[in-house]
Every structure is written in C-alpha cells, then in structure tokens.
Amino acid sequence: MAQINPVEARSLAFTPTWSVATVLTVFVAGSLLIERLIHRLSA
C-alpha cells in the first residue's frame, strides 16, 4: 500500500476556494451536458 506524504496531501480546509469552485463547476456543467445529450438521443 502506498504511503501518503502529509506534505502532498491537503485537506479541504486548506484547498483554495477557487479550485473547489472550478472542480464543482466542471462536474455540474458535465452532468448537464450528459443529461441533455441523453435527452436528445432518446427523442
């Protein structure tokens, strides 16, 4: 099992807000795109 270096592993409390917001925006945009694609393919 790989050891996690405590210096490399960041908790969410120390993660910049902009990076969390960017990742969540990508997830939401991707899920909306997939949902619309499924809707168009099923029509």
Residue 3 lies in a domain: no
The CA-based angle 5-9-10, given to 5 degrees, is 150
Task: Name the domain count of the chain.
Answer: 1
The tokens describing 25, both together, are 């925006």
- Residues 15 and 11: their CA atoms lie apart, in Å, by 7
Residue 8 domain-assigned (yes or no): no
Asked whether residue 28 is assigned to any structural domain, the reply reads yes
* Structural domain includes residue 13: no
Helices within the chain (DSSP H only): 17-42
Full residue range of the structural domain in which residue 31 is found = 18-42
Prediction pTM value? 0.66
Q: Write the pLDDT tens digit of every residue in 1-43.
A: 567 666 677 788 888 999 999 999 999 999 999 999 999 999 7
R_g of the chain computed on alpha carbons: 17
d(CA 31, CA 33): 5
Question: Contact, 4 vs 12, CB < 8 A?
Answer: no
Predicted pLDDT at 3: 73
